[in-house]
Amino acid sequence: MSFYEKLIKTHMEDKVKLPKRLKKFFSGENEQHEGKNVSNLHNYSSDSKNPIFFSNEKLEVLFYEHMDNDLANEDDRFDFVPLASLDDAQYMAVKITEEACPVYMWEHEDGEFHKHSSSLDEFLENLHDGV
């Protein structure tokens, strides 16, 4: 069982089923994308590049916060799962109710998810190395 699957099981108590694409990603594929940069984030300048982390202690903290948070839309609680940490308050999430796994950014300022990519694969294709 991967780091990510353990987090899902621990924090979501088998209330969700991960899409196959996300399971595949967290079965080792995530390692090649660790620390890459994401851009075109909601409320960031267009030239901002932010490193993302798929398997670290921040992601576990985000799981706790996500599950305990008073989300703007309570239905989102089991529709989205954290994918990668950006910083101490914001993260990328996957909408697991769709097989393509669209990627969203959780914006702590407004307490909402903002769509970033229509699929996990599109999100990964647009990550870049370095600054």
Q: Is the pLDDT of residue 11 over 60?
A: no
pLDDT exceeds cutoff 60 at 71 = no
What local confidence, expressed as pLDDT, does residue 79 receive? 81
For the chain, how many structural domains are there in total?
1
- pLDDT at residue 61 in the model: 72
| CA distances for 39 relative to 74, 88, 96, 120, angstroms | 28, 17, 22, 15
- Domain boundaries, position 77: 3-33+48-125
d(CA 76, CA 95): 9
Which residues face 107 on adjacent strands?
Answer: 112
What dihedral do alpha carbons 64, 66, 91, 6 form, nearest 10°?
50
Domain assignment of residue 130, yes or no? no
Q: What is the dihedral of CA 16, 96, 107, 36, to 10 degrees?
A: 120
pTM for this model (two decimals): 0.83
Determine what percent of the chain is predicted with pLDDT higher than 70: 70
13 has a pLDDT exceeding 60: no
Exposure of 108 by Cβ count < 10 A (0-12 exposed, 13-18 middle, 19+ buried)? middle
- Decide which of 31 and 120 is more confident: 120
pLDDT of amino acid 54: 84
At 122, the pLDDT band (50, 70, 90 cuts) reads very high
| Domain contains 95 | yes
In a domain, 85, yes or no: yes
42 in any annotated domain: no
Residue 38 domain flag: no
CA dihedral over 28, 14, 66, 101, signed as positive or negative: positive
Residue 13 lies in a domain: yes
- Residue carrying structure tokens 């990510």: 4
* Distance, CA of 130 to CA of 109 (rounded, Å): 27
Strand-pair category, 50-51 with 80-85: unpaired
pLDDT band at 22 (very low <50, low <70, confident <90, very high): confident
Residue at 40 is within a domain: no
Pick the residue with more confidence: 69 or 101? 101
Q: What's the confidence (pLDDT) of residue 96?
A: 86
Residue 39 lies in a domain: no
Kindly state the tokens that stand for 68: 């305990």
